[in-house]
Amino acid sequence: MASTSVNSVESAAARTLLQDQHRLADVELKHDKIRQLLHSQQADAVLLQDPAALAWFTAGADLSRSQPDGCQTSIFVTDDARLFATNSVDAVQLFERETFGLGFQLKQREWHQPHAALIADLCRGRRVITDAHAEGTTPAIRPIQGLRQTLTPLETDRLRRLSRVLVHAVEVTAAGIRQGRTESDVAGEVGHRLLRRTVWPVRIQVAADGRTQRYRHWGFGEDTIEQSAVISCTARRWGLHTAVTRTVSLGAAPERLQKAHAQAVLMHATGMYFSRVNEQVADVWSKVQRIYEKFGLPDEWRQSDQAEQLGYQLFENQFKPGSEHRLSSGQVLFWHPSVDQAMCGDSILTGDRLECLTASAKWPSLIVQVRGTPVTVAGILQIPAADTHDSTGSDWEQLINQLDEVSGDDGGTLGSHWELSPVSGPQQSRGD
């Protein structure tokens, strides 16, 4: 069925809400996990209030952009029911745009009535565990967080799609950098390219001319880019996060940047290669640390964090020395080691084999041998000067054309086709 624009849908005399069978199956799978948790904890119900948990349990309803500070919507789950506790303002959006046909019931109050009173009514007389600290409930934050540590097939597919959109936005923006553009201008372009695809830019870093050597967590400022820039972005869609980092040089990369980048990718490739199922984070960390030491950089890792597990939170688990966290299949890890002025970063998916979600066939790459196995990492994109007319310039033009091509993987909408105009004949559902 061809997609229908929002305008044509809204102008239709009647609207038909279509159930997303893929999301429904995902929600049912997660409800089963909640049931198992209830039995193990000997509880009557689970109260979810963390935005990450809400997005997880609803298979992608992301209310964090539109709600004010403080919890305005909660999910209450028992063995045989799941319901929203919310206000009269958000109820319509929840049922028509966010969770139509997913089997949720509703309990609501007026927007000016306290949400805590609604929650108290639900919890009264029941043993309720929660991911927050609501009055009359028992916190069970870690057990509830543990339910979402392994991605479902739907979530894996979504992260692959989201990562392609993010990589395209960052690389096209980076390829268009010219001397004199400001960090904030570049950050604004990355944000615009994502927002127009209904992707939320959670974190954008644009560091010009080696600024990351001193400020590893630099965001962006009004300074102009003269020689080089590092662009790093974390994006969210359906509540899920992915991240990528790319480096560009205006003309030939400075020797200091080239050397630092060549060292950083060694740690980057090592971390990705050894991030295997059943490995303990502390063991992976020690291997990366040994590479730092081997190349005369024993204290460089102390300058900044190196990696974290992404998911419905920006930091599901942070990698650090001595961590007892053990990797499992279906987890997204963002490795982003840095050395001096250089920073590299890619998101990978754990499983039977290493899958780099943010790999790019269009960006310059390097091959790092780790125990005899080639690991591909992003190189530095060297943008020729405007007056360059040699073969490098023609290669550059070819690269620009490739990046500007919006394929089926890079283009199109990411949103659910939540409603379509009525059509003749049998109706078909169309999911995310």
**DSSP string spanning 273-307?**
HH--TT-BHHHHHHHHHHHHHHTT-TTGGGGS--E
Q: Using 50, 70 and 90 to split pLDDT, how confident is the model at 133?
A: confident
* Domain membership flag for residue 10: no
Task: Give yes or no for a contact between 377 and 354, defined as CB atoms under 8 angstroms apart.
Answer: no
Average confidence (pLDDT) over 10-17: 53
* Domain membership flag for residue 284: yes
Q: Using 50, 70 and 90 to split pLDDT, how confident is the model at 8?
A: very low
**Same domain, yes or no: 142 and 157:** no
* Domain membership flag for residue 425: no
> What is residue 397's predicted lDDT score, i.e. its pLDDT?
60
Q: Interior CA angle at 373 toward 372 and 379, to 5°?
A: 115
User: Which domain covers residue 75, as residue numbers?
Assistant: 22-146
**Same domain, yes or no: 44 and 182:** no
> What is residue 387's predicted lDDT score, i.e. its pLDDT?
57
Amino acid at 411: G
**Same domain, yes or no: 246 and 354:** yes
Domain endpoint, select from 146, 181, 202:
146
Lowest mean pLDDT segment, chosen from 158-172, 246-260, 391-405: 391-405
* Domain membership flag for residue 250: yes
Say which CATH number the domain at 65 has.
Answer: 3.40.350.10
**Same domain, yes or no: 87 and 41:** yes
Q: What percent of the chain has pLDDT over 70?
A: 84
pLDDT in tens, 318-366: 998 988 899 999 999 999 999 999 999 999 999 988 899 999 988 999 9
**Same domain, yes or no: 179 and 95:** no
pLDDT in tens, 374-401: 999 999 999 987 655 454 444 556 666 6
Q: Using 50, 70 and 90 to split pLDDT, how confident is the model at 70?
A: low
Whether pLDDT at 286 is above 90 = yes
What is the DSSP annotation of 368-424?
A: EEETTEEEEEE-EEEEPPTT--SHHHHHHHHHHHHHH---TTTSS--S---EE---S
Alpha-carbon Rg of the chain, whole angstroms? 24
Whether pLDDT at 22 is above 80 = yes
User: In b/e form, how buried is each residue of 247-263, taking b as 16+ CB within 10 angstroms?
Assistant: bbbbeebeeebbebbbb
**Same domain, yes or no: 106 and 167:** no
**Same domain, yes or no: 242 and 373:** yes
Domain endpoint, select from 146, 168, 193:
146
Distance CA 245, CA 251 (A): 19
**Same domain, yes or no: 315 and 189:** yes
Distance CA 84, CA 197 (A): 28
pLDDT in tens, 80-100: 999 999 999 889 888 888 898
pTM reported for the whole predicted model: 0.88
**Same domain, yes or no: 244 and 204:** yes
Counting every residue written for the chain, the total comes to 432
* Domain membership flag for residue 374: yes
| CB burial of residue 183 (10 Å; 0-12, 13-18, 19+) | buried
> What is residue 93's predicted lDDT score, i.e. its pLDDT?
87
Average confidence (pLDDT) over 402-417: 51
> What is residue 3's predicted lDDT score, i.e. its pLDDT?
41
In Å, how far are 251, 281, 344, 384, 407 from 395, measured between CA atoms? 14, 41, 23, 10, 20
**DSSP H or E run through 106:** strand 105-109
Say which CATH number the domain at 234 has.
Answer: 3.90.230.10
> What is residue 62's predicted lDDT score, i.e. its pLDDT?
77
> What is residue 47's predicted lDDT score, i.e. its pLDDT?
97
Domain endpoint, select from 112, 146, 180:
146
**Same domain, yes or no: 131 and 38:** yes
* Domain membership flag for residue 13: no
**Same domain, yes or no: 395 and 274:** yes
Count of domains observed in the chain = 2
**Same domain, yes or no: 335 and 383:** yes
Whether pLDDT at 285 is above 70 = yes
Lowest mean pLDDT segment, chosen from 43-52, 65-74, 373-382: 65-74
The DSSP bridge pattern shows strands 419-420 and 380-383 to be unpaired
pLDDT, mean over the chain? 86
Distance CA 254, CA 252 (A): 6
**DSSP H or E run through 269:** helix 255-274
* Domain membership flag for residue 289: yes
* Domain membership flag for residue 416: no
